[in-house]
Amino acid sequence: FGTVIIFSIPTASCGRIYSRMLRNAASRCARKQASAKSGLVGAKRHYTHKHKVIQPMKQTIKVTSDEAVNCIASGNRVFIQTAAAAPQQLISAMCRKAPQLKNVEICHLHQEGAAEYKDPKYAQAFKVNNMFTGANMRKAVQEGRAGYIPIMLHEVPLLFKRGIMPLDVAMIHVSPPDRHGYCSLGTSVDVSITAVETAKYVIAQVNPNMPRTHGDGLIHISCIDAVVECNDELPTLHKVAPDEVETKIGFNIASLIEDGATLQMGIGSIPDAVLSFLGNHKRLGIHTEMFADGVVDLVEKGVITNEEKKLYRNRIITGFIMGTKRTYDFIHDNPLVQFLRIEDINDPAIIKQNPKVTAINSCIEVDLTGQVVSDSIGSKIYSGVGGQLDFIRGAALSEGGKPIIALPSTTSKGESRIVPLIKPGGGVVTTRAHVHYVVTEYGVAYLFGKNLHQRAKELIKIAHPDHREALEKHARSLLQAGWDLW
Residues noted as catalytic: 289
Q: How many CA within 13 A on the CB side of residue 244? A: 1
AA letter at 443? G
- Kindly report the backbone phi and psi dihedral angles of residue 338, in degrees, each rounded to the nearest multiple of 5, phi listed first: -110, 120
Residue 446 to residue 436: CA distance in whole angstroms: 6
| CB within 8 Å of 433: residues ≥ 6 apart | none
Contact (CB, 8 A) for 423 and 365: yes
Neighbours of 57 (CB within 10 A): 10
AA letter at 438? V
User: To the nearest 10°, the Cα dihedral for 448, 450, 452, 455?
Assistant: -70
Residue 301 to residue 49: CA distance in whole angstroms: 36
Residue 83 to residue 164: CA distance in whole angstroms: 23
Distance between alpha carbon 391 and the CA centroid of its chain, in Å? 13
Lateral strand order in the sheet of 126-130: 61-62, 226-229, 201-206, 169-174, 77-80, 104-108, 126-130, 147-148
- What distance, in Å, lies between the first and last C-alpha atoms of the chain? 70
Q: How far is CA 416 from CA 369, 410, 413, 429, in A?
A: 15, 4, 9, 19
